[in-house]
Structure 1
Amino acid sequence: DTPEYPVELPNEILHNILIWLHPADLPEVSLVCRRFYFLIKENQRLCEDIYRLRLDAPPENAPIWDWEAELRDIVRLDEIFHTSRGNYVEKDVSNMQKFLVPLSQQPNSTGSDMSQAHRLPFVYKTVNRLLKHASLNGRSRDEGEESQRPVSRNVEYLSGLFEKNEVATRVFTQQSPLFDRINSRFEGSVTPFPEPLEKHQQSAKLHCLYGRPAQQGGRTRSTTTYPWACSKVYDIREYSHLNGWGPFRKDGSGRVDWEKVEAINILMWKNISTMCPRTDIFDEIWDTPFFGSFANSYVPTNLPTLSDLDAQDPYGVTGTYYRVVCFLDHSDFIRFNFSNMGIVTDNIPRPPLDRGEATRLILMDLEVTRIGAPGPGDGLDLPVVHFKGVSRSFDSDFVEDVHSTLTGSVRLTQEGEVKWSSVSAFDGQERWRSEGVQVGGVKSARGVVGTWFDSDYDIHGPVGPTVFWKAADCKNPREALLKGASEMIMQPEWLEGVVVTFEGESEDDDDDDDNDEDWDADLDPIEDELPGLLEDAEMDLDDVTTRAMGNT
């Protein structure tokens, strides 16, 4: 006989109906009758099917063991961002948690009870877990040829949450001291370095994973973040043997300093977006929320023919990379770090810096040379991969300029992050080192964010930021650059050239300084230092020497 009521349907049919419910509706449906209650309660298979219908199937190396808990956290995350459905209310979250896990086991778990301090750790852990479980299982829903590339439904879900609620996005991605400094500016105070707190690192990492660096900050969002990020990145006190001169914490633990990575991202996106406005090869990486911020998100379009070494390389090193290097005019760098301007005592950050930087685009071709076992200070889950390569810089007309060779290695840190180290040589002489962390993990498309510095670890610098990411193998990297150049060459922003001066102090601001004679003495070594510095940035020596002398 045909069932007269839904409750009379077989379990298999009811299961296939229930999987189409929004997770927040499960508690309400379970209260309809006894049969629904026992069909839904503690049904891991039902929760798994509901999850898989909406989100990525987790990769084999990151399985999900508690599907009920995953659904509960998704409901809570939805509630915090208030974007999932128009009729979504707080009681749905409370009911879901009471149904899945006794409230006594979930202190401060409901959306209405969670204070602001409790919400950041939850959002941080849940976003990181969703990215850990992300995989490229589907195709983009957008139309067009580019939509044929695989996408992650977890990333699409997170992008929707963060894009639809700008206020919540700012709350969770702007809690690092960099934004506290911007806010304190309006209070007329100069505060010492804050006590290191894990919430600062969590917020900064969320900002980095989100992938769209904030260009405005402060309570009124009227202040540009660039000068404050620039101040942190170029402060020579941020570099020491304790953090390996890279984006790592100064306690010697080897853990990533996400506050430093955040500052580099803000600085680099400002420079890139000014140098190469609205160029596809940059926009996808730098202006697309959560793009490539998870492991194995770089997927080649064409299956490459792998050498024996490449087949053993878990990091996918071999290939072509876009790299961007930025640096201050050397006179500005010396003035900022070693003059009497402004402050500085050891416990107080340097003032915001808005002098403008040189920005250089480089193509790197890397190949694996050998693979070894991890050392005592490395993560033990993956080997250490060594590589060599050639870098080719491009001048302002995107014509190949200076070439250099480089060697380096990729390894896991003890906390499981991917660390890249390299040394650049010119005419066989080592000149610059670089340390970076791969945002998103192994084989992430997001790429590597880090620092460059003198190969001898000179405590007087120079130092600066650098980023690089793997070029899509479906395109010729050089042709992609030329295409981008032809599209933007007539844009007003490009007419300034690759040396970008941002709004702020003019180059003549210091003409009347009382300390000009002292500056002349400080700058005596510049002529000797500039050639080496410019070899890395491949800038025209005459132009920069003229500018450097003009600044004095």
Structure 2
Amino acid sequence: MAATTRLGRVLQIPSEITEQALTLCHPYDVESFSQTCRKARHLVYGNPDQYLWRQLFLLFPFDDPRLISSPFQEDGQFNWRKQLHRRLAAQLIACRTNPTLEDLLTAIETFISVVCTAAPVTWGHERISSPNLLWVVEVLQSTNMLRRSPLLFQEGSNQSLARLRAYLALTLDEYDDDDDEGMERLKLIRTRSRCQVYDLRNYHQDNDWGPFNVIAGEVDWTHIESIINVVSMNLSDRPCDWPDARPRYGLEATRAYSAPGTTGLATGDWAGVEGHWRRYVCFMDYRDLFAFNYGNRGRGQRDSTYFDPPDFEEAVRLVELKLTLIDAQEIPEVYTLNRFPDSPCKHYPTLYFTGTSWGINGNEATIVGSVAMSEGGVVRWRFASIANSHIQWGSEGVQIGGIASAFGVIGTWTGTHHDHGDPVGPFWLYKVEADDPVYMRTVVNNQVNA
């Protein structure tokens, strides 16, 4: 009776004040309050403006979805209560010791949604982190969900899991020197990633010889994750090589306009193409690549033990680029068949660019390419290198995260003529500051070598 009396007194308070007090509570406590009586339930769930749930959502905290403008967002008003419940349910699933496979996939897809709806970086607030991304990292770190996921060790990794792991880029897979289990796990991940990246059967006309599924324009996230794993681990093996020229990665680097100088993009350059870029390119010795794909162990199913010897390693090259936009009519004739078609999307028209690229020791080439927005809202890059008026290497890549993300573009390169046995390899392309010291040194070295 006493509890009922106290509740009655609470409900005698103006509903606006009670509602404001509830915004200071955890959503679970708010739901418990709603179950006490009909008036409480109406107060929590009956207001059509969803003021209470909007405040609970933003104070949790999460990024304000009203700040995100994209033609690819779902139509209709944002359902604050539904989205908050969805995220809290994913957190509960992550905390479970043995979640069902269905629940696990539901949680993973929710985390991807949270990452993809992180607020873009804005001018003057470049160092302010996204609450969305901080929440995802905190949940995954505290629950260790991804390391416990049985999907991680299944052949043919799930696309949603691969996409989330690609965004994280091994940032949650670090281990201590005495962590033998962690070391073995990374070794397994690296071997599987190499098998995926260097298997020539994964490149053909139906997937544009890139990291895509046979469905046109659909990203193969298992391939993207494998590329990130291969390049990042190759760089980890070389801590003394280019220590000041490493790409940014992890969830914060996936935010739109987080790349240097892109918070105030020039009109027409929606993808942040113009400027200075850095590219890491990896490749196997051609004899190794041929043996893996066509040798005794390469017949039928490629043998992962090919990468087991401790002395096996790939070559890694650092390439600098400077890109500028051009009109479609200025595309060299040698590249016209390789470019993306003009986009019908008025917000994101297809962009065309040219520029130069060079390595530490010179080897200058002309770069020609195009950038397009896919139907799924993923930015695709396609470009080729031209030397002595001959097109040589073609590249297909995907912007990881939002438009003009600091993470950059992940993809694969191969011969533009796609002859049988052409080599193939992964690359990581990302934007750098115009006054980047490593970039300036390579400019000077390139001029001296010229």
TM normalised by structure 1 equals 0.66
Asked if structure 1 preserves the Cα contact closer than 8 Å seen for 2:244 and 2:438, the reply is no
Matches within 5 A, 1:42-441: 42-43=46-47, 44-53=50-59, 54-58=61-65, 59-61=68-70, 62=73, 65-82=78-95, 116-136=100-120, 149-166=127-144, 168-172=145-149, 175=151, 179-180=153-154, 200-212=158-170, 214=173, 222-223=184-185, 224=187, 225-249=189-213, 251-276=214-239, 279=243, 282=246, 285-286=248-249, 288=250, 290-298=251-259, 300=261, 303=264, 306=266, 311-340=267-296, 342-345=297-300, 348-354=301-307, 355-370=312-327, 375=341, 382-394=348-360, 400-441=361-402
> Counterpart of 1:46 in 2: which secondary structure?
helix
Q: 1:51 to 1:481 in 2, by over 3 A?
A: farther
Query: Which one of the candidate residues 428, 433, 437 is aligned to 1:467?
Result: 428
Q: 1:280 to 1:128 in 2, by over 3 A?
A: farther
Distance 1:302 1:125, change over 3 A: closer
Counterpart of 2:115 in structure 1: which amino acid? L
Q: CA deviation at 1:369?
A: 0.7
Structure 2 residue 32 is the aligned partner of structure 1 residue 28: yes
Deviation of 1:335 (Å): 2.0
Question: Secondary structure of 1:405's partner?
Answer: strand
* CA drift at 1:292: 2.4
Q: Deviations over 1:276-313 (max 9, x none)?
A: 36946536x23x3x122244443637746x3xxxx123
CA offsets 1:305-341 (integer angstroms, 9 cap, x no match): x3xxxx123212112122100011122122222222x
Unpaired segments of 5 or more residues in structure 2?
1-7, 330-338, 443-450
- Whether the aligned pair in 1 keeps the contact of 2:354 and 2:367 (CA below 8 Å) is yes
Distance 2:37 2:439 in 1: 61
One-letter code of the match for 2:228? Answer: N
**Contact conserved, 1:322 with 1:468, CA < 8 A, in 2?**
yes
Percent same amino acid among aligned pairs?
A: 26
TM superposition shift of 1:215: 7.7
State the match for 1:528 in structure 2: none
Correspondence for 1:10: 14
Residue in 2 that maps onto 1:91: none
Whether contact under 8 Å (1:230, 1:352) holds in the other structure is no
Alpha-carbon spacing, 1:229–1:242, altered in 2? closer, same or farther (3 Å): same
Aligned pairs, number: 406
- For residue 231 of structure 1, report the CA deviation from its aligned partner: 1.8
Distance 1:137 1:446, change over 3 A: closer
Q: Alpha-carbon deviations, 1:108-158, whole Å to 9, x = none? A: xxx89x95221233123312221232104799xxxxxx9961321101111
1:152-186, Cα deviation, whole Å (9 max, x unpaired): 110111111112222x12245x726xx335xxxxx
In structure 2, how many angstroms separate the alpha carbons of the residues matched to 1:365 and 1:252?
32
Note the C-alpha offset of 1:243.
1.0
C-alpha displacement of 1:227:
2.3
Provide closer, same or farther for how the CA distance between residues 215 and 430 of structure 1 changes in structure 2, counting only shifts above 3 A.
farther
Instruction: Structure 1: state its 5+ residue gaps.
Output: 83-110, 140-145, 182-193, 395-399, 484-552
Q: Which structure ranks higher in relative contact order (CA pairs < 8 Å, sequence separation ≥ 6)?
A: 2
Change (3 A) 1:429 1:370: same
Which of residues 42, 45, 48 in structure 2 aligns to 1:41?
Answer: 45
Secondary structure (helix, strand or coil) at the match of 2:212 reads coil
1:66-97 superposed Cα distances (whole Å, 9 cap, x missing partner): 11111111210221223xxxxxxxxxxxxxxx
CA contact (8 A) 2:255 2:402 kept: yes
Kept in 1, the 8 Å contact 2:116–2:402? The answer is: no
Which residue of structure 2 lines up, in the alignment, with residue 189 of structure 1? none
Cα shift at 1:378: 8.2
Q: Cα offset for 1:382?
A: 2.7
Q: Measure, in 2, the Cα distance between the counterparts of 1:439 and 1:137.
A: 15
Match of 1:549 in 2: none
- The structure-2 alpha-carbon separation of the partners of 1:301 and 1:229, relative to structure 1 and needing over 3 Å to count, comes to closer
Q: Does the C-alpha gap of structure 1 residues 402 and 343 become closer, same or farther in structure 2, counting only changes over 3 Å? A: closer
Quick check: 1:367–1:387 contact (8 Å CA) kept in 2? yes
Does the 8 Å contact 2:356/2:366 carry over to 1? yes
Shift of 1:381: 6.2
Q: Deviations over 1:438-480 (max 9, x none)?
A: 1114222221111010121122121111011122x3x622347
Structure 1 residues 280, 220: closer, same or farther in 2, change over 3 A? closer
CA gap of 1:171–1:366, structure 2 versus 1, over 3 A, is: farther
Q: 1:317 to 1:147 in 2, by over 3 A?
A: closer
The answer (yes or no) to whether the contact 1:236–1:459 under 8 Å persists in 2 is no
CA distance in 2, matches of 1:11, 1:462: 69
**Would the alpha carbon gap of residues 236 and 136 (structure 1) be closer, same or farther in structure 2, given more than 3 Å must change?**
closer
The whole-number CA distance in structure 1 between the counterparts of 2:122 and 2:32 is 31
Distance 1:138 1:302 in 2: 6
Query: Kindly tell me: are residues 170 and 426 of structure 1, through their superposed partners in 2, closer, same or farther at Cα, counting changes over 3 Å?
Result: same
Distance 1:328 1:220 in 2: 26
